[in-house]
C-alpha cells in the first residue's frame, strides 16, 4: 500500500453532553470520500486520542472502516507510552479492519534511541499491518532520529512510513537519503508539506484537510504531476489559514472552524477548552479570505 497524498487527521466530533457525535463523524468521512482525500486517520492528535476511552477509540476506528468500505485506507492512531499497551492496541486495530496503524513515539518516558527502536520493533513483530511511525517531538519530548527510522525500515518490512513532524527539513532530507527501499515520508506539519514534498515526501497527514480537503488534495496531486507552479499557488493560498488553525492548541481551532462550517460542534474535551472570542474572530477572518464562509 502506497501512503501518499492528502491523508486527513480526523477531528472527533462530540455532542454537547460530551459523548461521541457519530452522526457528525460519519458525515465528515462521507465528505472526504467525495473530496479527493487519500486516507483517513481516526484517533490521532487532532482526534483528541489522549482523552478518548478505549471503547470510544475502537468505535471511531470501526466507523471509519464501515464508512470507507475499502475506498480509502484507514490508518488507526494507536499512540501510547507503554510498549505492551501499544502492542495490544495495534492488534486490536488490525482486528477491527484497519489498513495501517499510526504509532506514536513513546511520550513522557523519554526513551533512548534504542528504547524507541525496541518499542516499534515490538509492534512490527506483533502485527502484519503497515506501520506509520509518528515523530512529533513537540508533544512527546523525544525525537526519532533519521538513523533510527532507517534502521527500523531496514529491519521490518511493515514499517512503511513516517509521519514527520519535527519541523526540520534537514531531518526529512536525511530520512529520504538513508532509507534504501520504498518508504513513505509524510508531512506532519501543514505549513511544511510543499517543502517536504520538494525533498521527497509523498504527502501529508493533515489538519487543514479537515476543512479544505479538496485544496489539500489538489496541492499534493499537483506535486505528483510535476505542476510545481500550481502546487506553490495552492500552498501560498492555504498558508495563512494553516497558521490560523494553530492560533491555539490543535484541535481547538479546527473544531471551531468545522462548527462555523456547520460540520460539528466545537466541543473539545478538557484539558482543552473552547476557542477564545479573539481567536475565533481571527480564524473567521482567515476562513472568509479563503472562501470557506
Please state, in angstroms and rounded to a whole number, the distance separating the CA atoms of residues 281 and 287.
10
**163 part of the active site:** yes
Burial letters 251-279, b for 16+ CB under 10 A, else e: bbbbbbbbbbeebbbbbbeeebebbeeeb
134 is catalytic: yes
Q: What is the DSSP letter of 209?
A: G
CA dihedral angle for residue 208, residue 213, residue 214, residue 215, rounded to 10 degrees: 0
Residue in 163, 232, 255, 263 annotated catalytic: 163
Catalytic residue among 25, 134, 255, 263: 134
Question: Helix/strand/coil (H, E, C) string of 181-199?
Answer: CCCEEEECCHHHHHHHHHC
* Count of other CB atoms within 10 angstroms of residue 95: 11
- The SS3 of residue 206 is strand
Torsion angle, alpha carbons of 89, 104, 202, 215, to 10: 90
Alpha carbons 162 and 72: distance in angstroms, whole number: 19
At residue 167, what are phi and psi to the nearest 5 degrees?
80, 10
Q: Supply the residues annotated as catalytic.
A: 134, 163
Amino acid at each position: 500500500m502506497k501512503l501518499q497524498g492528502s491523508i486527513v487527521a480526523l477531528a472527533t466530533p462530540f455532542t454537547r453532553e460530551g459523548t461521541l457525535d457519530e452522526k457528525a463523524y460519519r458525515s465528515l468521512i462521507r465528505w472526504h470520500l467525495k473530496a479527493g482525500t487519500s486516507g483517513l486517520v481516526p484517533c490521532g492528535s487532532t482526534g483528541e486520542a489522549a482523552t478518548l476511552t478505549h471503547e470510544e477509540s475502537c468505535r471511531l476506528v470501526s466507523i471509519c472502516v464501515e464508512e470507507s468500505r475499502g475506498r480509502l485506507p484507514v490508518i488507526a492512531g494507536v499512540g501510547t507510552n507503554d510498549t505492551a499497551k501499544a502492542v495490544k492496541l495495534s492488534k486490536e486495530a488490525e482486528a477491527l479492519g484497519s489498513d495501517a496503524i499510526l504509532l506514536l513515539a513513546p511520550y513522557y518516558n523519554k526513551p533512548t534511541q534504542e528504547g524507541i527502536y525496541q518499542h516499534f520493533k515490538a509492534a512490527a513483530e506483533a502485527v502484519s499491518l503497515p506501520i506509520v511511525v509518528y515523530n512529533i517531538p513537540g508533544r512527546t519530548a523525544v525525537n526519532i532520529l533519521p538513523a533510527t527510522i532507517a534502521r527500523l525500515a531496514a529491519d521490518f518490512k511493515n514499517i512503511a512510513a513516517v509521519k514527520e513532524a519535527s519541523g526540520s527539513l534537514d531531518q526529512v532530507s536525511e530520512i529520504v537519503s538513508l532509507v534504501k527501499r520504498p518508504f513513505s515520508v509524510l508531512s506532519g506539519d501543514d505549513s511544511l508539506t510543499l517543502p517536504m514534498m520538494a525533498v521527497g515526501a509523498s504527502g501529508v497527514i493533515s489538519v487543514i484537510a479537515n476543512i479544505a480537503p479538496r485544496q489539500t488534495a489538489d496541492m499534493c496531486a499537483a506535486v505528483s504531476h510535476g505542476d510545481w507552479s500550481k502546487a506553490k499557488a495552492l500552498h501560498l493560498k492555504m498558508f495563512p489559514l494553516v497558521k490560523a488553525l494553530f492560533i491555539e492548541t490543535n484541535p481547538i481551532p479546527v473544531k471551531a472552524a468545522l462548527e462555523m462550517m456547520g460540520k460539528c460542534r466545537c466541543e473539545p474535551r478538557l484539558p482543552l477548552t473552547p476557542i477564545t472570542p479573539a481567536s475565533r474572530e481571527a480564524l473567521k477572518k482567515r476562513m472568509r479570505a479563503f472562501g470557506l464562509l
